[in-house]
Each structure stands twice: as structure tokens, then as C-alpha cells.
Structure 1
């Protein structure tokens, strides 16, 4: 631990890539969760533009169910440690593959969401993106606060019934039905976010890979780009991953355990 702390004390630019592992500690459920209703469906057949065109009501009910579960989660010490790291270095960027928005709730401001945000809205017809606050005004059912305040039974009885009646978000620009602000299967990652991530990684002095399997491209290539560009590469993950052999420091623990320790030592005299 002291070795990486000494390296960090000399660092000017630090990048952090986070994956599902950091949010799993907050209780964020997997695609299928425990609800038998959705076990009859293949997530890859619900998280596509074709599925949305075919049955937008079904797709939105599935996403509202996921949003309802995510809305109950809160940032954990790992999220807060990443937010604190932002204040410790002249240059910092968080790159997350997660769509839950927990990093922002923890206080992170310098971040890119490679796969979007589930509480945002995106019109696939005209490309208009609705940020979380704007989208919750457009369609109150999508509000994190509202969804966290109701039970699953209320979600099904009150919200799903409205969706079945055709109460879906309508784009203010082109009047098409707005979908969730996440990257679906078959869609490209946001170009601006991806360019920013690759650019920062190539200039980093230290780069962290936290709670990610390092299997999903193109995000999986970002830590290796940082390494090739001269960065000290750090992995925080309970399990070995394909990038483990290339890392200069490996911590086999959870983000909520390891990152707060590093941040604490950085602040020590």
C-alpha cells in the first residue's frame, strides 16, 4: 500500500476506470435480478433499438423496474473515495462503465459515463439527450426520488398500468418516444466520452482499474493504453482479470476496502 501511495504523491494526472464491481457493493442488482417476470426475457432482446421499436412499453417497464431497484442504492465508501481522489490531484478523470449515477451522488464531478446513465433519456430519432433532472421533469415516472419512494407492488400497479395506457415520454424536439439514456447492444459508445477517456488515459501518470472484468471493449483497452503510454497501472479487484499481469500494483480486495485506505494514507503526513 505504501508503494502506490508514494507513487501517487508524485503524480500529476490520475485516471480511474470503474466497473460493475464498485456498484455491486451498494447492492446494485444484475440484469435479471430476482423477479421471475423478467427471467422469461433475454436482456439482449430488451436492450436494443429494435426491441424498443417493436415494443416500447415492454422495454420501458423493464427499465423502470431496473431503475426502481437502482434508486434504492446509495454510494459506498469506494464511490466516496473516488470522489475524494478528484480533489487530491491537479489532473483527474473518472471513467465509469456503470449507468447507475452513484459516482455523481457521491460527489464526483470530473467523470465520463461510457455507457450512459439509466436515469437520463435519449431520443433515438433526433439524438436529443435529456439529463436526469430534465428527464424527470419531462416524465416524472423516471425520477430517482419518486422511484425510491414507492414499493415494487406500487411500481407494477400504478406505474406499469400508466405505461400500458401509452403514458410514455415524448421528445420535445421531434415528438418521438424517448428511450433510456443508456448505450444499447448494437449502439456505439458516445464519441465525445470515448475520446476524452482515451485522451486522458494516454496522458496519465497513474491509472486505476477498479471493479471491472476488463472483458468489455472498448473500455477494457483503456487501462492498457495508459500502461503503454507510461502510466503506472493499478488494479483493485477481488478476482484476477486479463489485465492483471500488466499491472504494477494489484490489490485483491473490494473498492470499498482498498480505495479509502489509499486516500487516507495520501492525507497522512
Structure 2
């Protein structure tokens, strides 16, 4: 099949990539949409009527840990049903071929780790659905890459909850949400809340939720960055130190608008260190606060198709 990428752009990028040593990639939701994964607001559809502050803040967890855990358990379940796509595998292979390449992901879905992306070259800006940590002030317990589903028996997906399968043909991740609404008999745009008989969410007592195996007292919480929380300082320091260590040849901006800090800041910092910018996105107008400059590349389309093709000069063909 003929490539949708203009031949001159692909040729110039491929030649530049082959000589690039210090490379950084910034990933957003667009790369996961290529695996058919619903967005935060679309995750299951049942939670569309909740504000983010009802589901993704420390205060929400303190007030309703059962509701928050049901939301995140469903997101974990959906993420595990999705599969890493060829873009995830291509970036993992680039990391193996270029030891001075790092990837920063704003995604929490675990798809990059499941593509065997070298962990020392992968930095999770917003944490992961599959990391957990104790909420007790006196306990520092945490564990990473826990792909158990459900994480505790009480959080098993209810048998009467339809299981929409992520579709690699759905490049927005919304297909799964629509199929769930249809299966529950909920009309598009209809207001639904937790008291609706069609919504199989239930109140769970605290003792049925994930507890810390170390202190035995504290509840475990998802290891994601909630609204109002700071990004992981150790991760930010590691990335900043890498950026300061020498000139940067290239920054790949994949599936993200790069308009929100720190994402926007990384593009500007990389430019200041000499980097050329390559953007992979569905919308040419969605390329960050600084826009495209002479010498940059813009590749329009599905990340799962575009990324393996533009990296092929270094990674080889990705199946």
C-alpha cells in the first residue's frame, strides 16, 4: 500500500533520524486512541455525568473511595483489553537502538510498558493506572506494574455490564463508549447518574477495597496524578537533567497538542538545545504553543500507522 506521507518529507526525516543521537519523544492520548482506548471522559461512558473533581482528586477519594476505585478499576480493565499498537512497539525498538533516547508519556494506560519499552528510558509524567500506593501518612508502600484484573474481587466488572472491546479501527477511542451506552439502552446525550437502575455501580464497604499489605491500615490508591496534585518531582528532575546534559537532536511530539505545561515547555526547551521538531497528529493546527517552524516536520494521520513508518530507517520494519 502506498504511503500517505509525502515522499520528500519521509526521506528528509529518515536521513536526519539516522544521524540523530539524543532524541526525546512526548506522547499524548492520540497514540492510545490508535489502540481504540476510550479517553478519560469516555472511559465506560457511565462516568460522563461526573465532574473530574468527583473522580480524580484526593478529596474525591477521601469522600467516596468506592466510587473512585470503581472508575479506575473499569479504566484498568479497558486498558488491559486494549493492546499496544505498532507505534508503541516502534518507540520501544527505537529506545533499544538509541540508548540516549527518552520517552515522556502523559498517558496512564500502561500500553508503553506492555510494549516492552525499556523502563529506564520511559518516564510517566502522570503515573500509571497499574501503579498503586498507600494513602496512610505514615506508610510509603507502593508497587508498580500490577496488571491484576480485578485488583481485588469486589472490583470485578459486574456480570451485567457489557464489555465493549477496544477496536483498532476506532481512532478516537469513542467506539467502546458508544457500544456500552447502546447495550445499556442509554440514548446518546442522555443524563445518567449512579442511582439509575441501568448503571451497575454499587456502594462498596471500605474493607472490600484494596488495602496496604505492609501497614495493613491504609487504603491503596491508583498511582496516577490527580487534579490538584504535582507531577512526580523525581521524574521531572530526571528529565531536566537529561535535557541539560547535552545538545538535543530531535523531539518527537506524538498524539498531543503540547499546549499544557509541562508538555509545551519540553518542546521549547528541546528547541533551545538545538532540536528539530517532528509532530505526528490528526490536526495540523494542534501542534503546540510555539507552532511549526522552518525545518520541522508535520505528519498528519494515525500514530499507529505513521510512527512505525517514519522510524523505520532506524528500527527496521515493525510487524
TM-score (norm 1): 0.85
Aligned counterpart in structure 2 of residue 112 of structure 1, from 123, 129, 152: 123
Q: How many positions carry a matched residue from both structures? A: 262
Structure 1 residue 131 and structure 2 residue 179: aligned?
Answer: no
Query: What is the aligned partner in structure 2 of residue 233 from structure 1?
Result: 277
Corresponding residue SS for 2:208: coil
Deviations 1:128-168 (A, max 9, x none): 322123x849944599xx87xx88359xxxx9669446311
Q: Tell me which moved more, 259-268 or 65-74.
A: 259-268
Structure 1 alignment gaps of length 5 or more = none
Corresponding residue SS for 2:48: helix
Aligned CA RMSD, in angstroms, stands at: 3.0
Query: What is the aligned partner in structure 2 of residue 103 from structure 1?
Result: 112
The answer to which structure has the higher helix fraction is 1
- C-alpha contact 1:12 1:205 (8 A) present in aligned 2: yes
Query: What is the aligned partner in structure 2 of residue 195 from structure 1?
Result: 237
TM-score (norm 2): 0.73
Structure 1 residue 17 and structure 2 residue 26: aligned?
Answer: yes
Pairs within 5 Å for 1:31-180: 31-33=40-42, 35=44, 37-109=46-118, 110-125=121-136, 126-133=139-146, 136=148, 139-141=151-153, 152=161, 163-164=204-205, 166-174=207-215, 175-180=217-222
Pairs within 5 Å for 1:179-218: 179-202=221-244, 203=246, 204-218=248-262
After TM superposition, which residue ranges in structure 1, 4 or more long, deviate above 3 angstroms? 34-37, 135-143, 150-154, 159-166
Post-superposition shift, 1:27?
A: 1.1
Corresponding residue SS for 2:263: coil
Structure 2 alignment gaps of length 5 or more = 1-9, 164-199
Distance 1:91 1:142, change over 3 A: farther
Distance 1:7 1:59, change over 3 A: same
- C-alpha contact 1:198 1:222 (8 A) present in aligned 2: no
What is the distance in 2 between the residues matched to 1:165 and 1:173? 17
